[in-house]
Amino acid sequence: MTANGEIAFSLEEADAFARKVLVACGLAADHAAAVAQTMVSGERDGCTSHGLYRLLVAANSVARGVVVPDAVPEVSEPAKALVKVDGKGGFAQLPFELGMPLLVEKARAYGIAAMALNNVVHFAALWPEVEALAEQGLVALAFTPSHAWVAPEGGTKPVFGTNPIAFGWPRPDRAPFVFDFATSAVARGEIELHRRAGKAIPPDWGYDADGRPSTDAKAVLDGAMRTFGSHKGSALAAMVELLAGPLIGDMTSAESLAADEGRGGSPIGGELIVVIDPAGFLGDSLDEYLKRAETMFETIEGQGARLPGSRRLLARARSQVEGVRIPAQLHADILEILERGN
Amino acid sequence: MTANGEIAFSLEEADAFARKVLVACGLAADHAAAVAQTMVSGERDGCTSHGLYRLLVAANSVARGVVVPDAVPEVSEPAKALVKVDGKGGFAQLPFELGMPLLVEKARAYGIAAMALNNVVHFAALWPEVEALAEQGLVALAFTPSHAWVAPEGGTKPVFGTNPIAFGWPRPDRAPFVFDFATSAVARGEIELHRRAGKAIPPDWGYDADGRPSTDAKAVLDGAMRTFGSHKGSALAAMVELLAGPLIGDMTSAESLAADEGRGGSPIGGELIVVIDPAGFLGDSLDEYLKRAETMFETIEGQGARLPGSRRLLARARSQVEGVRIPAQLHADILEILERGN
């Protein structure tokens, strides 16, 4: 334990620790490896809410029967440039890993391709997926619904999930340009943190169950969150529902929440990933145009503005040297899972 | 002329009038037909800023040599699921029309396809394009940069264009679900209107040339506009630059503004359209899942919230019965083009 009550891990130790815990929860070894990698990536990149803390969330989903811990995903090709992975109710990470090589192959063969992950349980951010694809030199977009917690602009009743959009762009000789954000005004976890701390939330984050704007975190959790960016954010939230729900034969956020039956598990449903090979349009001009994109990034950073994802990459560089640290209390809570086997 | 100083047209009359004016400007007949259709669609749908008023804008672009009025677009297939149309410096409408059949064919054949329009001049909204694709039963996304007028979040100097995103979704037995919005906080034309009226703008629309938030419309037009939705809108604006600029071998908004050389023409550059065939993922379940999407739309409208595009469809229904009306002064200004042949 460090002086300020934190537990330190190297990234390798964190990965081994997370795997051990997940296997103790009942996850099959391949699922545990894929899920651990995502959680350690989050911790490494300073996204603590998507880091090792999620071991508790994953354990809860297993304990409540929300996730199939040893699901065997099935990869298929519904059309020439489409990949479908039926996750069979397991976590999303392994299905993504299993489908990704075929997705990359198809994007390179056809110029563009898409992959649907169906029937998967989602607890993580989308950036690890688009980043992995951008690291292969591809441009990637990802979308997923969640649970119906967010009201459309002009209404006050939940319809949408927090419905994130992620985007990855390959950069020569450096980490890809990656963003990933919820189309809700804030993350649901942010409201949860205010509730725990007994703190008021800003009046434009959501509505109570009677449809009145509220500064009471619990009232908004029980009512409806708002989207970011007014009617534009609301339109994007609807798009995410459609693209990663009905379009791929999977659930909307409302259907997913209903399927949870009050167990409070992570959302189950689908994810859509669209991949474009820049070499498709660019051919021999690939390098020239990737350089033009770099010029745009320089114009942004040159005026002191931050690129999306830059804070994550800074945290990553630090973690790769110093490892990661988690609060002693969180460590103790995780050890408890290890002891009781769930 | 009507009692309140407006000139009335049936939709057919408006189309014939617009074609005649465009041909008088020097546009080749096929370009004039495609451009007229887009302008009349805008007027019909109550988007007057993208309606017949744009005849003046198009005439200006021709007069200043920004657009090639008789360009012969060239359709090619850089990869199996990609279509590229080189617009050769002409307006975007004809290249879209010429490339669309192949794009639709590829989307149906591969499940997903994309089309780049390159070297085209843009004066119109993107919704006519995604709507035309959704009317074919396809899901469509469209992106285009413009001129560098918009600052990234955290900065105050222009990098992005107004960079719209449009989305179309097919609905059984009714007009598609369509949205189309700029990723800037407001349309540039909105600030222009404030400038003409000598009215102050809200302080969060943009910055003056010294990087200070300003309520002076002219100062912001000469400085930088802001994106909508803070860092999330800014991330999307960057994505649009990348997708419809470097990815397709075309200009960024900064490059396009530089290419204009102060002529004040409409932006020249590229557009990316991504199309997914819902039957690809859904097969025999297509109807079932399109119905599930309808359930989501009902949940939105059932609580009194408006779907994006609903105002446009109301205006359309009215125009189809009553025709359209334009201010007498605008009509006179357009007639002047007709007389002087430009």
pLDDT in tens, A242-277: 999 999 999 999 999 999 999 888 899 999 999 999
pLDDT of residue A86 exceeding 60, the answer is yes
Q: Residue window 160-219, chain A: list those with CB within 8 Å of chain B.
A: 165, 167, 169, 177, 179, 181, 183
| Residue B266 tokens, joined | 């409409």
| pLDDT band (50, 70, 90) for residue A233 | very high
Low-confidence ranges of chain B (pLDDT < 50): none
Q: Do B80 and A111 touch (CB under 8 A)?
A: yes
pLDDT, residue A1, reads 61
| Residue B235 tokens, joined | 């991330």
Across residues A74-94, what is the average pLDDT? Answer: 98
Task: Give the integer Cα–Cα distance in Å for B25 and B123.
Answer: 16
Q: CB contact, 8 Å: B80 with chain A?
A: yes
Q: Do A245 and B82 touch (CB under 8 A)?
A: no
Residues A137-157 have pLDDT tens digits of 999 999 999 999 999 999 999
> Of B214, B218, B213, B235, which is closest to residue B160 (Cα–Cα)?
B235
Chain A interface disruption, residue of B110, B177, B227, most A CBs within 10 A: B110
Q: CB contact, 8 Å: A262 with chain B?
A: no
**Which is it for strands B112-121 and B82-86: parallel, antiparallel or unpaired?**
parallel
| pLDDT band (50, 70, 90) for residue A340 | confident
Helix B11-25 to helix B29-44 angle (10° resolution) is 140
- Indicate the residue of A79, A157, A289 with minimum beta-carbon distance to B246: A289
Q: Residue window 100-159, chain A: list those with CB within 8 Å of chain B.
A: 109-114, 116, 139, 151-157, 159
| Residue A85 burial (C-beta neighbours within 10 Å; 0-12, 13-18, 19+) | buried
Task: Give the integer Cα–Cα distance in Å for A60 and B89.
Answer: 58
Q: Are B319 and B11 within 8 A, CB to CB? A: yes
B50 is catalytic: yes
pLDDT, residue B69, reads 97
Residues 6+ apart with CB under 8 A from B143: B126, B163, B164, B165, B166, B239, B240, B243, B244, B271, B272, B273
B231 is catalytic: no
Task: Give the integer Cα–Cα distance in Å for B146 and B93.
Answer: 16
- Phi (first) and psi of residue A276, to 5 degrees: -120, 135
Task: Give the integer Cα–Cα distance in Å for A310 and A179.
Answer: 9
Question: Would you give the distance in Å from CA B98 to the centre of its chain?
Answer: 17
Across residues A13-18, what is the average pLDDT? Answer: 98
Q: Do A249 and B159 touch (CB under 8 A)?
A: no
Cα separation values, A16 from A7, A21, A58, A173, Å: 15, 9, 16, 29
pLDDT of residue A2 exceeding 80, the answer is no
Residues A35-74 have pLDDT tens digits of 999 999 999 999 988 899 999 999 999 999 999 999 999 9
| pLDDT band (50, 70, 90) for residue A123 | confident
pLDDT, residue A189, reads 85
pLDDT, residue B264, reads 86
- Indicate the residue of B151, B230, B276 with minimum beta-carbon distance to A247: B276
pLDDT, residue B342, reads 57
Q: Which residues in chain B are contacts of A255 at CB distance < 8 A? A: 292
pLDDT, residue B3, reads 63
Q: Are B170 and B154 within 8 A, CB to CB? A: no
Choosing from B31, B41, B43, B50, the catalytic residue is: B50
pLDDT of residue A231 exceeding 90, the answer is yes
Residues 6+ apart with CB under 8 A from A336: none
pLDDT, residue A96, reads 98
pLDDT, residue A3, reads 63
pLDDT of residue A23 exceeding 60, the answer is yes
pLDDT, residue A342, reads 57
Domains along chain B with CATH numbers: 1-63+309-342 (1.10.1530.10), 68-185+226-307 (3.30.1370.60)
pLDDT, residue A44, reads 98
Task: Give the integer Cα–Cα distance in Å for A103 and A112.
Answer: 9
Task: Give the integer Cα–Cα distance in Å for A240 and A148.
Answer: 12
Residue with the two structure tokens 């200070």:
B212
Distance in Å, alpha carbon of A53 to nearest chain B alpha carbon = 25
